[in-house]
Amino acid sequence: MLDYEGCMPSFVHITDGKQHESKIAKTISFPKGSVLVVDRGYVDYAWMNVLDSNQCFFVTRSKSNMKYTVTLTFFFLDWRNYMPKIICAPQLLVIIPKI
């Protein structure tokens, strides 16, 4: 977990490596407003729902079979050479639960 004010890690958990870190992450209570950057191996919709319910945020690459709706796109433009060029377009998504 990153502390934005100091740009330094604010939490570290070291293990003997016998348990997958995604299982350990699910046992940790993250403070409201935390932003977690997680690998696709962590994509667990029930856990993401818990994070969202606790007003935490997460950033991950989507799995190929993830169902979602784009609610907002942030465009970052490069204005060099006087021609705008999109260099990054992260999106805010609503994940559609499995029925």
How much is the pLDDT for 30?
Answer: 85
Predicted confidence (pLDDT) at residue 99 exceeds the cutoff of 70:
no
Task: Report the predicted TM-score, pTM, of the whole model to 2 decimal places.
Answer: 0.64
How much is the pLDDT for 93?
Answer: 73
Number of domains in the chain: 1
Q: Which domain holds residue 58?
A: 2-95
- 21: enclosing H helix or E strand: helix 21-25
Cα–Cα distances (Å) from 94 to 67, 83, 87, in that order, read 9, 32, 23
Question: Contact, 97 vs 45, CB < 8 A?
Answer: yes
Task: Name the β-bridge partners of 59.
Answer: 37
* Mean pLDDT along residues 73-92: 75
- Please state, in angstroms and rounded to a whole number, the distance separating the CA atoms of residues 56 and 37: 11
25-66 per-position pLDDT tens digit: 888 888 888 888 777 777 788 888 888 899 988 888 877 887
Task: Name the β-bridge partners of 44.
Answer: none
